[in-house]
Amino acid sequence: MPRTPSSAPSTSWDIVIGLEVHAQIASTSKLFSRTSTQPFADANSSVSLIDAAMPGMLPIPNQKCIDQAITTALAFDADIQHVSLFDRKHYFYPDLPQGYQISQYHKPIALGGHITIDDDKGQPKDIPLTRLHIEQDAGKSLHDLFPHATAIDLNRSGVGLMEIVFEPSLRSSGEAVSLMHAIRQLLRYLGTCDGNMEAGNLRADVNVSVRQPHEPLGTRCEIKNLNSMRFIQQAIDYEAQRHISLREKGQTITQQTRLFNTNTQRTYAMRSKEEAHDYRYFPDPDLPPLVLDPARIQKLKEQLPERPREKYQRFLKDYGLKKDDVALLVAERDIAQFFEETARTTNPVQAARWVIGPLFALLNKRQTPIQDSPISPQRLSALIDAVEDGTLSERTAKDVLITMATSGKTARDIIQQENLAQISDDNVLNAKIHALLQAHPDKVTAYQQGKTRLLGFFVGEIMRETKGKAHPQKVNALLQEKLKKAP
Ligand code: ADP
Ligand code: MG
């Protein structure tokens, strides 16, 4: 449990939350230089003169990064601005060699838009975007490398970010987490951000305030740089409770920027909130206005993939699957694609079961992403067909799946080579049943006199004789029929 300041329990407070999300743009090179964004490079090995802010260097916008931001904004149904500006945002920090960050303040690349999330009751709720803009990331200060000095790694310096600002329309930490999940899923679908929160490639600043239901919005505090779903939830819960207890003691809230300590699960004041004028924003004289050709925007719009929510609705409608299963299948674009390719040639309900069940288990065990699955959708679908047409029992099919993965063979080859096909031919089964009943006349009589539990014995004998390959339902039916008529 997060430790919260003590307070009388109160239910009359509304919690108001607004998120500012930073997403690292998926791109092989930085925002204004050609330097690689390779994540695991040695410290300071991926730094050009531009990234190190040497005098006289000229930033040149990376068109791929701009396209990624446009694609993202389009997926949120935001309005792309045909003209936007790069501004300098000044602050002094050792890992910011320019002494300012190139960002977009006066005219961002996109305004408005929205995304639908599930609220705490599972109902859809629209969260409006205020804006989306492009900016550079800073370097990284390493405080624990040397005992008396701080080291600076500039590999991140100049990497492109999208900042996505949302309206203060969230009402609980659960909704905030739901929003982050929806954003992460969407960006990964688009391929515009890898969504790796642990690496800091997707992180959020959360703004929290409380108010009585009739009041205007309360004074907010901003908690910086949260890079996990759990921290977002814990930080909001703590902060909202802190505001409530202060208000209930009759105190006022001071607008602040705060940090979340993951060990104590509390927030701490970092600085009083800075205002826009503190940053002395002005248009970067080295960068002309960013003018976008409508044809370019149109082309990116046409290339937008089906979005996760649309895919979810379509799968529900088209395949007759359960909601929870659909949610699993659309979690990642590659999973959805694998499922659809499998379902194209076999029973979709079975395809869903096999992907979510045995295939996920296999991939999990091998730590393999689905796009590198050792079994292709076509081969999985052939295996499912073998169960559907009675060639394989479900149990045997699960073993065949594992053999397929280790041997690279098809289901058909394995069935043939290991002689695994189920015996479901009536003539073959009837002959075996006939012989069995002949061998046990006493048991047949006992059965006919009412000891019907003996059916299990007969089925067991047939299964034993066929080494489990007889089709169990068929054996059952044929036996019952024969036992009625015997001797
Ligand atoms: P700034 O640019 O100074 O950080 P903004 O007004 O642009 O301030 O708001 C930043 C974020 O704070 C937005 O996500 C917004 O939704 C959120 N926010 C604004 N007012 C409040 C409030 N009273 N309570 C909670 N969040 C708020
Ligand atoms: Mg802010």
- Any idea how long the chain is? 487
Out of 165, 208, 211, mutate this one to test ligand 1's pocket (max ligand atoms within 8 Å of CB): namely 165
Q: Please enumerate in sequence order all residues whose Cβ is within 8 A of that of 399, keeping only pairs 6 or more positions apart, or say none.
A: none
| Alpha carbons 351 and 354: distance in angstroms, whole number | 5
Lowest mean pLDDT among 18-27, 103-112, 117-126, 139-148: 139-148
| Alpha carbons 415 and 435: distance in angstroms, whole number | 27
Query: Residue 196's pLDDT is what?
Result: 97
Mean pLDDT of 41-64: 94
161, 27 Cβ separation under 8 angstroms: no
Dihedral class, residue 269 (left if φ above 0, else alpha if ψ from -120 to 50, else beta): beta
- Does the Cβ of 217 fall within 6 Å of ligand 1? yes
Q: Please enumerate in sequence order all residues whose Cβ is within 8 A of that of 81, keeping only pairs 6 or more positions apart, or say none.
A: 107, 108, 109, 110, 111, 292
Q: Please enumerate in sequence order all residues whose Cβ is within 8 A of that of 368, keeping only pairs 6 or more positions apart, or say none.
A: 374
Exposure b/e, 456-467, CB count within 10 A at least 16 = b: eebbebbeeebe
- Does the Cβ of 133 fall within 6 Å of ligand 1? no
| Alpha carbons 397 and 410: distance in angstroms, whole number | 12
pLDDT class of 487 with cuts at 50, 70, 90: low
- Kindly give the residue spans of alpha helices, DSSP state H, lying in 149-306: 173-190, 229-248, 294-302
What number of CA atoms fall less than 13 Å from residue 106's CA on the CB side? 14
From the CA of 207, give the closest atom in ligand 1. 26
CA 182 to ligand 2 center in whole angstroms: 21
Task: List pLDDT tens digits, range 384-397.
Answer: 999 998 888 888 89
Of residues 144 and 132, which shows the higher confidence score? 132
CA 260 to ligand 2 center in whole angstroms: 15
| Alpha carbons 322 and 327: distance in angstroms, whole number | 9
CA 80 to ligand 2 center in whole angstroms: 21
Out of 207, 253, 254, mutate this one to test ligand 1's pocket (max ligand atoms within 8 Å of CB): namely 207
Q: How far is CA 108 from the centre of its chain?
A: 27
Query: Residue 486's pLDDT is what?
Result: 61
| Alpha carbons 219 and 253: distance in angstroms, whole number | 6
CA 222 to ligand 2 center in whole angstroms: 7
Task: List pLDDT tens digits, range 443-456.
Answer: 999 999 999 999 99
pTM, rounded to two decimals: 0.88
pLDDT class of 63 with cuts at 50, 70, 90: very high
392, 400 Cβ separation under 8 angstroms: yes
Is pLDDT above 80 for 6?
A: no
Mean pLDDT of 301-315: 97
Residue % of the chain over a pLDDT of 70: 97
- Does the Cβ of 218 fall within 6 Å of ligand 1? yes
Burial bucket for residue 396 (CB in 10 Å: 0-12, 13-18, 19+): buried
Lowest mean pLDDT among 30-44, 55-69, 268-282, 395-409: 268-282
Is pLDDT above 60 for 7?
A: no
If you ran DSSP here, which 8-state letter would residue 306 be given?
Answer: P
Question: In sequence order, what are the beta bridge partners of 160?
Answer: 136
Mean pLDDT of 20-46: 94
Ligand nearest to the CA of 274: 1
- Does the Cβ of 390 fall within 6 Å of ligand 1? no
Exposure b/e, 413-427, CB count within 10 A at least 16 = b: ebbeeeebbbbbeee
In the block, tokens 């909202």 appear at: 240
Phi, psi of 31 (to 5 degrees): -70, -40
Mean pLDDT of the chain: 94
Query: Residue 421's pLDDT is what?
Result: 82
221, 207 Cβ separation under 8 angstroms: yes
Query: Residue 395's pLDDT is what?
Result: 87
Query: Residue 1's pLDDT is what?
Result: 46
Q: Please enumerate in sequence order all residues whose Cβ is within 8 A of that of 344, keeping only pairs 6 or more positions apart, or say none.
A: 377, 381
164, 135 Cβ separation under 8 angstroms: no
- Does the Cβ of 358 fall within 6 Å of ligand 1? no
pLDDT class of 472 with cuts at 50, 70, 90: confident
CA 473 to ligand 2 center in whole angstroms: 65
Ligand nearest to the CA of 164: 1
| Alpha carbons 371 and 212: distance in angstroms, whole number | 50
CA 276 to ligand 2 center in whole angstroms: 10
pLDDT class of 468 with cuts at 50, 70, 90: confident
Ligand nearest to the CA of 273: 1
Q: Please enumerate in sequence order all residues whose Cβ is within 8 A of that of 220, keeping only pairs 6 or more positions apart, or say none.
A: 16, 18, 168, 207, 208, 209, 253, 255
181, 116 Cβ separation under 8 angstroms: no
Query: Residue 308's pLDDT is what?
Result: 98
CA 136 to ligand 1 center in whole angstroms: 21
| Alpha carbons 465 and 483: distance in angstroms, whole number | 19
Mean pLDDT of 271-275: 75
Of residues 321 and 484, which shows the higher confidence score? 321
- Does the Cβ of 281 fall within 6 Å of ligand 1? no
Task: List pLDDT tens digits, range 145-173.
Answer: 999 999 999 999 999 999 999 999 999 99
- Does the Cβ of 166 fall within 6 Å of ligand 1? yes
| Alpha carbons 461 and 483: distance in angstroms, whole number | 15
Mean pLDDT of 313-331: 96
Q: Please enumerate in sequence order all residues whose Cβ is within 8 A of that of 222, keeping only pairs 6 or more positions apart, or say none.
A: 20, 205, 206, 207, 208, 256, 257, 258, 273
Is pLDDT above 80 for 89?
A: yes
| Alpha carbons 484 and 487: distance in angstroms, whole number | 9
Query: Residue 260's pLDDT is what?
Result: 97
What number of CA atoms fall less than 13 Å from residue 56's CA on the CB side? 0
Mean pLDDT of 323-334: 97
Query: Residue 314's pLDDT is what?
Result: 97
Q: Which two tokens stand for residue 457?
A: 């014995």
Ligand nearest to the CA of 224: 2
Mean pLDDT of 99-103: 96
| Alpha carbons 162 and 166: distance in angstroms, whole number | 13
Question: In sequence order, what are the beta bridge partners of 22?
Answer: 163, 203
Lowest mean pLDDT among 182-191, 310-319, 366-375, 425-434: 425-434
